[in-house]
Chain A
Amino acid sequence: MEKLRRTMLYVPGNNPAMIKDIYIYQPDSIMFDLEDSISLAEKDSARFLVSEALTNVDYLGIETVVRVNGLDTEFGLADLECIVKAQPDVIRLPKTETSEDISEMEAIIARIELENNIPVGKTKMFAAIESAKGVLNAYSIATSSKRLVGIALGAEDYVTNLRTNRSPEGIELLFARGQILNAARAANISAIDTIYSDIENEEGFRREVEHIKQLGFDGKSIINPRQIDIVHEIYAPKPKEIEYALQVIAAIQQAEKENSGVISLNGKMIDKPIVERAERVLQLAGINDMEQSDGR
């Protein structure tokens, strides 16, 4: 079963106060940013700060992700050289457009792992898709590497590329969201939605989270700890859903015990999709810790 990634919280990589305290808010993933939130003059200091934090701060098992600069900039390679050694769980590549972008970065990560006695393959990758070209290549990106645990939509650059802007309804993102979500599902990796930047508009944020949850996204990139509880609340299953999911799992266990091929609950047949949905409900409810098998 995949790791829960309802909230992936951005933290500017050059802010010691936020970096030291961020785990208190309990997002599912912490994303240290070396890219857009860092000025050109401070790229080096953010890199050193995130590296030292990863080496010395106990993030209590919360997934650590570092958004590095692209390899087409003068900072990307230096970011990897410094950060991979500090062993974050995931490196997030911005502005991914082709599977070659992933392969190129993967080769460098593998080389650094080898040079530093880190098991090759330990560092996972995440790809942000932020252009029309990237959206059209979503499936080949999603299937480009075993290290890849998810893909995310970066909508700010994407809508600029489309020659439009973001609307409250998000109609301009329908195709990209559908494409990225289907690519992620076909590749069996996480799909994460874009940020919602109007921190003060809680109602608009709620609407957008409800929308992307209904579409099927695993979660959302977020920019403020205040957004965490809202996302987690919307993703939390209702008591009735939990109760039904527990009944489904109990029915399967009973059937297994009795070596019965056909499983039914309250007179209705239980098949694989129903079981998968039940497991997902229990995972979202925090009940199902038993099958975090490969941690993807």
Chain B
Amino acid sequence: MKLNKRAIAGTMTSSDVMIEVIPWGKTSEINIKSDVEKQYGDQILDLINSILRENDVDNVCINVVDKGALDFTISARLKTALFRAAK
């Protein structure tokens, strides 16, 4: 998947997550801010990396602000942001 522009998906409300995707001319970078980072930070990172691999996305900066989202929400918001960035 080729990303053409910066895109955002999600909200800052409880149980949601806001994810920003920025096409990046260098090695990928993933920044996570979460109230549950200590417990779930690694799990969120793994989930994001697996979706990036599935969609063949590289050289991207991903900024995540998590408000207690479950995996299905994180996955949906990232896929939406990627879809928008690829437009």
Contact = CB atoms under 8 A, between A and B. Distances in A.
A211 interface: no
Contact of A20 (B9, B70, B77, B79): B70
B62 interface: no
Chain A contact patch, size range: 10 to 19
Nearest to A14: B11
B14 interface: yes
Interface centre among B9, B76, B77 (most CB of A within 10 A): B76
Contacts of A52: 72-73, 75-76, 79
A48 to B, nearest CB: 4
Contacts of B80: 44-45, 48-49
B9 to A, nearest CB: 5
Contacts of B14: 17
Interface in B32-87: 69-73, 75-77, 79-80, 83-84
A45 B70 CA distance: 15
Interface stretch (A53-61, A64-72, A98-106): A53-61
B79 A48 contact: yes
A16 B71 contact: no
B28 interface: no
Contacts of B75: 52, 56
B52 to A, nearest CB: 15
A158 to B, nearest CB: 33
A56 B13 contact: no
A70 to B, nearest CB: 22
A20 B76 contact: no
A194 interface: no
Contacts of B70: 16, 20, 57
A131 interface: no
A16 B71 CA distance: 11
Interface string B5-34: 000011001111000000000000000000
Contacts of A53: 72, 76
Given A16-B76, A49-B77, 10 more contacts: A16-B16, A16-B73, A17-B14, A17-B15, A20-B15, A20-B73, A44-B83, A45-B9, A48-B76, A48-B83
Report, nearest first, the 3 A-B pairs whose CB atoms are least far apart.
A17-B15, A56-B72, A52-B76
